């Protein structure tokens, strides 16, 4: 668990957005 959960969550959201933009969200 990272020391900054909010930073980790923001990074995770960014990754999910990239996956969704790439059209691979369903294959997650």
4-21 confidence digits (pLDDT tens) = 666 677 788 888 788 777
Report the C-alpha gap between 8 and 22 in whole angstroms: 21
Q: Would you state the structure tokens that stand for residue 2, as one six-digit string?
A: 């990272």
The pTM is what?
A: 0.42
For 10, residues 6+ apart whose C-beta sits below 8 A from its C-beta are none
Report the C-alpha gap between 19 and 4 in whole angstroms: 23
Largest CA-CA distance found in the chain, in angstroms, rounded = 31
Report the C-alpha gap between 7 and 28 in whole angstroms: 21
Give 25's pLDDT tier (boundaries 50, 70, 90): low
């Amino acid at each position: 668990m990272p020391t900054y959960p909010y930073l980790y969550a923001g990074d995770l959201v960014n990754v999910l957005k990239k996956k969704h933009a790439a059209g691979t969200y369903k294959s997650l």
